[in-house]
Structure 1
Amino acid sequence: MHPATSPTTGTPAGRNHRTLLSRRRFARGLAAVALAVPLVLGAAGCGDDEAGADGPVKLSVFWWGGEARAKLTEDALALYTRKHPDVTFEKTWQANQGYFDKLATLTAGGDPPDLFQIDDNYLAEYAARSTTLDLTSYKDSGKLDLSKFPESLWQYGVVDGKLAGIASGENTQGLVYNKTLLARNGLPEPTTGMSWEEHIAWAEQVAKKSRLPGTQDPSADYKAFWVWLRQQGKDLYRGTELGFTAEDVTRWFELWKGARDRGATPTPDVIHEGNATDITKQLVVTGKAATSWVWANQMPDLKKNTKDELGVVAYPGDPSAQWARASMYWSVFRGSKHRDIAVDVINFMNNDPEAVALLGTDRGLPSNLDLRAKVSETATDPAMKLSIQVESDLAQKFGPSPQVPIKGHSKIRSELTKAAENAQYGRATPAEAAAQFIDACKAVIR
């Protein structure tokens, strides 16, 4: 599941510019970007069209999300215009599905947005093709103030030594559980720091006493696998290669085969249902498991789908394996004629108190720690306050951020789901499924 997935599930009426392009066409589009960018840069020259110098400036902005996110973003951009009357915006937004196909089409077709939203599935791909502006000089000069960001948060936007994106919010992995169910059956709540084996034993007891599987099986969930790897001294990626072996994947799949055999998890069909990215289909709210593996900031949207009280803790094991994760980024097109202004807009949306208050936690917790504290003080939604509190508590335990995922990360995620489900359904042993996954990953990154 992608961080902050839930706000993307709505499809904007009348403004959903979906295109369903093949992966091959997407790759061709990015290749075209690599050729097109130098031409655009040549036209743009070395300077920036400052607002007021050559008349009003219209900045194009592109993002994905539902109507709620669109309203918040448009309000923040309108606030910028009130404070900078010579700058207006051409705003385009759509649902998550098809967004990156559309972005590839725009950039390859010579009509790229000046400022666009991106996530870590694609940041490395766009940075590698010099589509994104290196923001390092802006950070160093103070024009882009990241001094209030957790260091690991802004560093999670660095690709090959270049600052390719700025976190629009912070998120981390969250183990969400049904407090009402546990209280009704006199069962203890899970805690941050419990081992994976302790979590599975706890889930088995939940299943025996409540007759509801204690936990969703997360063997197909890259977030859980990634945290588990970091706790083993490994990582998802090392440079441009995988950071793990077939033996690591086998151990991971065997861990969850044992959990299934003990009745701690649902049946494969229900596990498959829980692997869906839609927040409304998470098993903790559909009543098919006591626990789901999601993002901490999704607590408010999960709560909307159940009458039960929910709680959230870190994933099992050492919580220092988790990090200040960029929920998503803002990036500037390298060939933009208005790149200085685009950077200033990013700075504004992260550091202006009014803008941050408007945007709230829709894209994750505010990156600016001082302003995050103010948002927390004024939050009225109990689920939102809990997600902020959990993230703030975990921030004291976070470890260093890993590198941004490599090109092909989204495909590798889908291959993990495929391999894990082969093991879950018994179509392959854990070792066979692990070998299939490794082979598929090598084909992706070759």
Structure 2
Amino acid sequence: MHLPMPEPVRPRAAAPYRTVPSRRRLLGGLVAALVAVPLTFAAAGCGNDKASDDPNAPVKISVFWWGGDARAKLTEQALALYTKKHPNVTFEKTWQANQGYFDKLATLTAGGNPPDIFQIDDNYLTEYATRNTTLDMMPYTENGKLNVDKFPKSLLLYGVVDGKLAGVASGENTQGLVYDKTLLRKAGVPEPTTGMSWEQHIAWAQQVTEKAKVPGTQDPSADYKAFWVWLRQQGKDLYEGKKLGFTAEDVTKWFELWKGARDRKATPTADEIHAGNQTDITKQLVVTGKAATSWVWANQLPELAKNTKSELGVVAYPGDPSAQWARASMYYSVFRGSKHKDVAVDVINFLANDVEAGKALGTDRGLPSNTDVRQAVTDGISDPNMKLSIQVENELSAKFGPAPQVPLKGHSKVKAELIKAAENVQFGRATPAKAAEQFITTCSAAIA
């Protein structure tokens, strides 16, 4: 049996978060999609909350997330809506900047005092799931307490680790190639399009360099997102089971592709590429004027637009767009040892499926995972850059391929080592083959 695909989005009001229970085939379809690994600890069951015998007993749920003031305000508004519907449930809210967040989460976990609900991303989901820190929410999808009927299939599966639903996607995102439309118009160069091959993209970038006197594209050889999409187009993947899904030969070909682009002046200099490798939005070359394109996440378009006077556009990464997938921008996870796990899951169910909660949260954590809620939220958006970002995401969603497995523990190290290896090639400190060999050795050790 297979997980049913989501129904097309219709311009109507979203269903309330208390909806018809998910059918039993959901669990079977999900488990069939992934290979489950035997548990080393007893599975945490649902329906065992001590407070559940008295539905009116006071319950305090601790919630921990990263983000700025704006996200904090939106999150607090959504949680207040839950308390309005459930007056006995209140929240202990803690948030901080991204930097240091996972250090703090690790400290709380090690000290035996993690929050009931915490925000996490695909860099760490596998690590926390395999340590049995996260609650398996799969049984809740079976008994109807967590409704995922309106989630895109690949988005839901991207929260499954070893057959367990370790995280519920708070929103959807995908890779996006953002380009400077104003610059291209002035230079008389056509805009890039979804479906261009990698060679066509590089040839286009070379044309931009020649006509606009600005390098056509940021060199993405250090960008794991671009490398990952390229690998999937070659029939490979970033990870396969418990090991890397690619070889040193694959990495060499990737580095040589971009060495050729640099030789053709399609990209900036090594120093400028290094600056563009920063994750800070303000350092992206498409807004600093150092390149006509940057390789980012599609939902970053509105923030990029705030940092430039140019009009920006966004398309898929080069090659077959089915190599891209509905990526969870981040997840909500529940601590496996929470004394109020049932209530915590109900809170996540509310945040994901209640239309008023969705409107309160907006698109801060990506496009809402529930496609009905997404429609209700996007109907009220007026920002043209956000509208464009959503339009591209929705267009690509029809072309998305299956989700890859959630990255392995050590993924952050793999990302950092790709930057190091790519920059060694860019600065001439190593040949593509030598850098690839070193990269494979280091990454294999990181995920072991």
Specify the code of the residue in structure 2 equivalent to 1:212. V
Instruction: Tell me which residue corresponds to 1:340.
Output: 342
**Residue type of the partner of 2:386?**
M
> In 2, distance between residues paired with 1:171 and 1:445?
25
Asked if 2 retains the 8 angstrom alpha-carbon contact of 1:207 and 1:213, the reply is yes
> Map of 1:260-409 to 2, 5 A cutoff?
260-409=262-411
| Aligned match for 1:200, one of 196, 199, 202 | 202
What's the secondary structure of 1:50's corresponding residue? helix
For 2:333 and 2:83, the matched residues in 1 are separated by 20
Kindly provide the amino acid, as one letter, of the partner of residue 151 in structure 1. K
CA distance in 1, matches of 2:96, 2:59: 24
Q: Which amino acid aligns with 1:220?
A: A
Shift of 1:235: 0.2
Cα distance change, pair 53–217 in 1 and its aligned pair in 2 (3 A): same
Q: Against the structure 1 CA distance between its residues 216 and 94, is the aligned structure 2 distance closer, same or farther, given a 3 Å change threshold?
A: same
Say if 1:63 and 1:93, in contact at 8 Å, map to a contact too: yes
Q: Which residue of 1 aligns with 2:186?
A: 184
Task: Give the letter aligned to residue 57 of structure 2.
Answer: G
Aligned AA (1:119): D
The within-5 A match list for 1:5-404 is 46-50=48-52, 52-53=54-55, 55-404=57-406
TM-score by length of 1: 0.89
The structural deviation recorded for 1:442 is 1.4
Q: CA deviation at 1:205?
A: 0.3
CA distance in 1, matches of 2:424, 2:355: 49
Following TM superposition, by how much is the alpha carbon of 1:58 offset from its aligned partner in structure 2, in angstroms?
0.6
When residues 51 and 181 of structure 1 are mapped into structure 2, their CA distance, relative to the original with a 3 A threshold, is farther
Question: What letter corresponds to residue 198 of structure 1 in structure 2?
Answer: Q
**Alpha-carbon distance in structure 2 between the residues aligned to 1:95 and 1:46:** 34
Which residue of the partner structure matches residue 15 of structure 2? none
Question: Deviating runs (4+, > 6 A) in structure 1?
Answer: none
Q: What is the letter of the counterpart of residue 279 of structure 1?
A: I
Whether the 8 Å contact between 1:48 and 1:340 is mirrored in structure 2 is no
Structure 2 residue matching 1:421: 3-state secondary structure: helix
Taking the aligned partners of 1:75 and 1:54, their CA distance within structure 2 comes to 22
* Equivalent residues of 1:49, 1:338 under 8 A apart: yes
Assess, with a 3 A threshold, how the Cα gap between structure 1 residues 45 and 383 changes in structure 2: closer, same or farther: closer
Match of 1:426 in 2: 428
Letter in 2 for 1:160: D
SS of match in other structure, 1:441: helix
Q: 1:435 is matched with which residue?
A: 437
| Paired residues of 2:47 and 2:342 also in contact (CA < 8 A) | no
Normalised by the size of structure 2, how large is the TM-score? 0.89
C-alpha deviations, 1:380-405, integer Å up to 9, x for none? 11111011000000000000000000
Q: Distance in 2 between matches of 1:391 and 1:45?
A: 37
Tell me the distance in 1 between the aligned counterparts of 2:344 and 2:137: 11
Deviations 1:24-70 (A, max 9, x none): xxxxxxxxxxxxx989x89x994342395472111000000011111
Indicate how the Cα distance of structure 1 residues 335 and 261 shifts in structure 2: closer, same or farther if over 3 A, else same: same
Q: Mark the CA change 1:51 to 1:418 in structure 2 (over 3 Å): closer, same or farther.
A: farther
What is the RMSD computed on CA atoms of the aligned residues? Answer: 1.6
Amino acid at match of 1:263: K
Give the Cα separation in 2 of the matches to 1:152 and 1:432: 36
What's the CA shift string for 1:254-288, capped at 9, x where partnerless?
00000000000000000000000111110001111
Q: Counterpart of 1:49 in 2: which secondary structure?
A: helix
CA shift for structure 1 position 443: 1.6
Distance 1:309 1:52, change over 3 A: farther
* Structure 2 spans left out of the alignment, 5+ residues: 1-39
Uncovered stretches (5+) of structure 1, i.e. residues with no partner: 1-36
Question: Does the 8 A contact of 1:52 with 1:86 survive in 2?
Answer: no
Inter-partner Cα distance in structure 2 for 1:83 and 1:53? 13
The separation in 1 between residues aligned to 2:308 and 2:74, in whole angstroms, is 25
CA distance in 1, matches of 2:235, 2:385: 33
| In 2, Cα distance between equivalents of 1:48 and 1:243 | 44
CA distance in 1 between counterparts of 2:357 and 2:392 reads: 23
Task: Specify the SS of the correspondent of 1:133.
Answer: coil
Give the 3-state SS of the residue equivalent to 2:379 in structure 1: helix
Specify whether residues 168 and 303 from structure 1 end up closer, same or farther in structure 2 by C-alpha distance, changes over 3 A only. Answer: same
**In the alignment, is the contact (CA less than 8 A) between 2:222 and 2:420 conserved in 1?**
yes
Cα deviation for residue 445 of structure 1 reads 2.0
